Amino acid sequence: METNRLTIAIIGADGQLGMDLQEAFSSHRVVALTYKDLDILDPVRTAQRLGAAAPDWVINAAALTNVDWCESNDIKAFQVNALGARHVARSTPASSRLVQVSTDYVFDGQKKTPYEEYDTPGPLNVYGITKLAGEHYVQATHPRHYILRTSGLYGTHASWGKKKNFVDAILSLVEEKDEIQVVCDETLTPTFTEDLAKQIGVLIESEPPPGIYHATNAGECSWYEFARAALELSGKRGRIERTTAAEWNAPARRPAYSVLENAALKRLGIDVMPLWKDALERYLSKKLR
């Protein structure tokens, strides 16, 4: 069946997720808005660019995602993650639908089972606070919104906020050091951006009711387990030891448990996210071939 060709504006198109979104929507008309093309802190320019694009869908994948950096740069983080999201929501035409990419870090990690969309947020750090504020701005500003929370993103393209994603950093460190330590008491679901981009494609094709959606790879693991799996699947040798979040003492607190349940997608029968370990194996096969 032939798919209708849509106009899709991708904000943050040169980021880790944005690059995969461009590939996922290659059969549609993509308006790729990079940081140089569009500064979402400029509401006038944002309105002009989105108005001229006349998109069917807007995907806002622009954000400051370095959690520890945000902790000591709270004003800038709020400007981009909260006010920037508000500017995008206000500038998205009323006839368009808006996807706002958010995070598992809106939760406090006290729950022992995966968080569903109706669970009450309670962020522990500046990054989570600013992303939650962005969610509220979008919900209050644009009625045809889709808040899409995800977790632990990594992908084959470079991330603006970090020199290397977690997997690449681990594989580099094991070659440089005799032993590395990774936190074992923070549990999440690492998510491959290629899979997330495909899931967003399914969401757009399905046009479900507006609201909050969770979208991560399936299953869960600690950062330590994720690092060990990356090492094993890569075939590299190295020594990885456990440490705790308290011992690591990062500038920003992280939730101890931030696994998301793709409950809304599952109820609609449109959850296509594979297991996190299968996704990691595919990622490594691309990176290491």
| Helical ranges in the chain per DSSP H | 16-24, 43-53, 67-72, 74-78, 84-91, 126-141, 166-176, 193-206, 223-234, 245-248, 263-267, 276-288
For residue 170, the SS3 value is: helix
Tell me the backbone φ, ψ of residue 122, rounded to 5 degrees: -165, 70
Among residues 281, 263, 256, the alpha carbon closest in space to that of 194 is found at: 281
CA dihedral 197, 201, 207, 212 (to 10 degrees): -10
For residue 265, the SS3 value is: helix
Measured CA to CA, the distance from residue 100 to residue 62 in angstroms comes to 9
Name every residue whose Cβ is closer than 8 Å to that of residue 86 and which is 6 or more positions away in sequence.
134, 137, 138, 141
Residues marked as catalytic: 127
Measured CA to CA, the distance from residue 274 to residue 1 in angstroms comes to 24
